[in-house]
Amino acid sequence: MKNFLKLRRKMGTGTKRKPLEFKNILPNMVTSGNLLSGLFSLIMTLNGRYIVAAWLIFFAVIFDGFDGKVARMLGGGSQFGLEFDSLADLVSFGVAPAILIYQVYVRDLGLAGVGAACFFALSVALRLARFNVVHVPGPFQGLPCPAGGLFVASFILARVNLPAWLSALILLGTGGLMISSIPYANMKKLTKKTADGTKCLILFSLFALSFVFLKSSAPLFLFAIYIISGLIHFDWGQWILKPEARFKNN
């Protein structure tokens, strides 16, 4: 016991805790917004407020898109932030959408519905684990979790009346795409210098017009296009690049 106390005193005197810097705190605060949106979505689902639950998953996607940008802008990325982001994504884009779709569409299938929802959530966990271990430059390998989670939740936003069996197939198919090796466009590293202004305007117009005309059905339309683009191997990230930047990447 005495030896243990001596060793503890030596360790305490030899190491000093570094104060947390704002550049490390702010990205994690944004990630917290992602996690809280997923938790609130689960609570809304349990209270039968399914449209609100689906919109909260949409807000989680927005937070997830900004935490990495904030970290890169401030130079505050860390291993802690990476792990925290994965845990938040598992809740917001795995568990929350799975429970939401189960409650709205597939609960009448019994164990088959439970299995489809669990497979979807498990696929998100596997997709995140693979992403953290295997870093492949270029396109995403498999459908990104935010796209998969919001895609299935978008059926509720669009108020689509799906048969239970078809909803289960959508869960299984989307989960399969996430753990597949199908390349999907990665546009996170695009910059003002590398992106083509005209093509950016086209994409922004498509995004804006879809919300103007389709309203709550817009997320379903946009993410369906993204999913189909991966299946036909169309890379939006490469398409939007300037020719000289595309040549440099190749």
Architecture of the domain delimited by 24-190? Up-down Bundle (1.20)
Tell me how far apart the alpha carbons of residues 171 and 149 are, in angstroms, rounded to a whole number. Answer: 10
92-122: pLDDT as tens digits: 999 999 999 999 999 999 999 999 999 999 9
Q: Where are the domains of the chain?
A: 24-190
* 119: its two tokens: 């497979």
**Residue 160 near residue 220, CB atoms below 8 Å:** yes
61-78: pLDDT as tens digits: 999 888 767 766 766 567
What pLDDT does 14 receive? Answer: 47
**Residue 142 near residue 182, CB atoms below 8 Å:** yes
**Residue 116 near residue 27, CB atoms below 8 Å:** no
Query: At what angle are helices 145-157 and 79-90 packed, to 10 degrees?
Result: 30
For residue 31, the one-letter residue type is: T
